[in-house]
Amino acid sequence: MLKALSQLRNRDVEAVVVGFLHAHVNPAHELRVRELLEGTGWRVYTVLSHEILNSEGEYDRFSTAAVNAYVGPRLNGYFSRFENRMREAGATFPIMIMQSTGGLLPIDQAGAYAVGCVTSGPAGGAMASALYARLMDAPLVVTYDTGGTTTDISLIEAGTPLERRKTEHEELKIAVPSIDISVVPLGGGSIARLDSGGILTLGPQSAGADPGPACYARGGTLPTLTDANLVLGLLSPKTFLGGRMGLSMELARAAVETLARPLELSIERTALAIHALANVRIAESVRTATLKKGMDPRDMTLLSFGGAGGVHAASVARELSIGRVVIPREASVFSALGFLSADVRLDEQLPIGAQLGAEAIPKLLAALDKLKDVAARRLEACGFGPERSRLTLFVDCRYKRQTSTLEVAIPADIADADLAELIRQSFSQRYQQYFGHIHADEEPFIDVCRVSAYGVVGQNNRLDEGGSAGNSLPRPGGFSETRDIFMDGWSTVSAHWFDELLVGTKISGPAIIESATTAILVPSFVVANVDRLGSLVIEQTAKGGRS
How would you write 426-486 as a 3-class SS string? HHHHHHHHHHCCCCCCCCCEEEEEEEEEEECCCCCCCCCCCCCCCCCCCCCCCCCCEEEEE
CA angle 464, 148, 100 (to 5 degrees): 60
- pLDDT averaged per 10 residues, the chain (length 547): 86 93 94 93 94 90 95 94 96 93 93 91 93 94 94 95 87 90 95 95 92 95 97 93 88 98 97 98 96 92 94 96 94 87 92 90 94 93 91 94 90 88 94 90 94 82 49 72 93 94 94 92 94 93 50
Pick the CATH number of 345-455 from 3.40.630, 2.60.40, 1.10.3470, 3.30.1490: 3.30.1490
Q: How far apart are CA 287 and CA 295, in angstroms?
A: 9
Q: Are the CB atoms for 270 and 262 separated by under 8 Å?
A: no
**The predicted structure's pLDDT at residue 468:** 41
How many Å separate Cα 175 from the centre of its chain?
Answer: 17
Instruction: Write out the residue limits of the CATH 3.30.1490 domain(s) in the chain.
Output: 345-455
User: Exposure string (b/e) for 334-372, b if CB count within 10 Å is 16 or more?
Assistant: bbebbbebbbbbbbbbbbbeeebeeebbeebeebbeebb
* Number of alpha carbons in the 13 Å side-chain half-sphere of residue 522: 27
How many Å separate Cα 52 from the centre of its chain?
Answer: 22
Neighbours of 413 (CB within 10 A): 5
Q: How far apart are CA 446 and CA 444, in angstroms?
A: 6
DSSP 304-339: EESTTTTTTHHHHHHHHT--EEEE-TTGGGHHHHHH
**The predicted structure's pLDDT at residue 472:** 55
Residue 371 parent element (H or E):
helix 360-381
What's the pTM? 0.87
Q: Are the CB atoms for 97 and 103 separated by under 8 Å?
A: no
